[in-house]
Amino acid sequence: MGLKPGGIYVDCTFGGGGHSRELLSRLDADGRLFAFDQDPDAWENALDDPRFCLIRMNFRHIKKGLRLHGVQKVDGILADLGVSSHQFDAAQRGFSLRFEGPLDMRMNPLSGVTAADWLEACDEKELRWVLKTYGEVPNAGRLAAALRKRLDQGKLESTAELSQFLEGFAPAQKIHSYKAQVFQALRIVVNQEMEALRELLADSIELLSLQGRLVIISYHSLEDRMVKQFMREGWADGDVERDERGRRHFRLRPMHRKPLSPDSAQIEENTRARSAKLRAAERLEEWV
């Protein structure tokens, strides 16, 4: 990440604290690290270090959280998107196909609606859009219609109930991956993940100092596409800033032509990293 030993950095996805520990190891006594996490389980991992501050918020509130601590500019922002290992491995959180648990999927179990509640309330059109857009489910229309009909008969309360229902719609050779796509779609909409990422990217422009760096690790094409667009154009939704003469205004410089991916040794050590893509960009100039 090219750290300045005395700089100010942000870990947007604290989780178990692995990234934060590594960042702190590269900072000197004057350096400061602010971490964000909305999950109460992660708060128990807070690091005992005078240079460290854990802000108990979703990273979509990064600007507000830093302002509360008197921070206007930072030298680097890191976000490792997706679900943490702890969340996947806790049956009661409802993220994983491997365990039976409540159909929850909230990254902050203290607020918001559960996946079960969201499914019960949504209509067929919205469900079809979420399955197709967030899960890239091939037969999203047929599944949405059948799922809505099933939900009209009673609420789906557990991961096992949903998983069993999906058996009749998954291609024979791709049952697990099909179910994973559906679970992903529900998780994204329940946690408003794309909206949160969009807000983080937009705020990063204002927060990064000149030559400050933005590093994002994503795990599915929707996230990576948005990050790629933002780092190339400076706008998450692809709107390009132009001056009165029509010249494009660039605010970030991508540091790699293509995203960095884990090698075979890293994947062997952590199989969940196999779909990870890291993109990094540097702040070009001050923006008012």
* pLDDT tens digits for range 124-162: 999 999 999 999 999 999 999 999 999 999 999 999 999
pLDDT reported for residue 246 = 65
Distance CA 3, CA 98 (A): 39
pLDDT, mean of residues 104-111: 91
Over the stretch 22-66, which tens digit does the pLDDT of each residue have?
Answer: 999 999 999 999 999 999 988 999 999 999 999 999 999 999 999
Q: Are 186 and 115 within 8 A, CB to CB?
A: yes
For the whole model, what pTM was predicted? Answer: 0.90
To the nearest 5 percent, what fractions of the chain are helix, strand and coil? 40, 15, 40
The token pair that represents 187 in the structure block: 């998780």
Query: Which H or E run includes 183?
Result: helix 175-191
Tell the CATH superfamily of the 8-80+193-283 domain: Vaccinia Virus protein VP39 (3.40.50.150)
Beta strands in 119-268 (DSSP E): 208-218, 252-254
pLDDT, mean of residues 183-193: 95
pLDDT reported for residue 97 = 82
pLDDT, mean of residues 180-190: 95
pLDDT reported for residue 272 = 73
Q: Is the pLDDT of residue 284 over 90?
A: no
Q: What are the start and end residues of each CATH 1.10.150.170 domain in the chain? A: 92-191
* Residue 168: pLDDT band with limits 50, 70, 90: confident
* Residue 285: pLDDT band with limits 50, 70, 90: confident
* Residue 266: pLDDT band with limits 50, 70, 90: confident
pLDDT reported for residue 211 = 93
Q: What are the start and end residues of each CATH 3.40.50.150 domain in the chain? A: 8-80+193-283
Q: Is the pLDDT of residue 283 over 50?
A: yes
What are the backbone dihedrals phi and psi of residue 280, each rounded to the nearest 5 degrees, phi first?
-135, 145
pLDDT reported for residue 85 = 75
Distance CA 209, CA 225 (A): 24
Return the percentage of the chain with pLDDT > 90, whole number.
70
pLDDT reported for residue 114 = 96
Q: Is the pLDDT of residue 264 over 70?
A: yes
Question: Mean pLDDT across the chain, nearest whole number?
Answer: 90
Query: Which H or E run includes 228?
Result: helix 221-233
Q: Is the pLDDT of residue 112 over 80?
A: yes
Residue range 92-191, CATH number: 1.10.150.170
Stretch among 146-150, 184-188, 260-264 having the lowest mean pLDDT? 260-264
pLDDT, mean of residues 217-243: 81
